[in-house]
Amino acid sequence: MNRFFYFKVTFLSWAAGIFVGTLVYGLFDIDFSNSDELISLLWRSFVVAVGTGLVLGFLNMYFKIGNFQKKDNS
């Protein structure tokens, strides 16, 4: 497995989890009558998720952390 596989697996899983977690947590704090707050929350969740995913993805790509099994073709 190449290093991109380690980056991709870590980036996608962490970014999706952080995005949804931040979004759901932020929905409890916003006022739904103001659409600018909702757009701001979506933007902030996306930026935090991508930033965290990039950092953890690069770290995992460098250290190759993970117990990923190769599929048998039989």
Confidence (pTM): 0.79
CB 20 within 8 A of CB 42: no
Compute the chain's Rg from CA coordinates.
16
Q: Are 6 and 61 in contact (CB under 8 A)?
A: yes
pLDDT tens, residue by residue, 26-68: 999 998 898 999 999 999 999 999 999 999 999 988 887 766 6
Structure tokens at 45: 């969740």
Torsion over CA: 2, 51, 14, 37 (sign)? negative
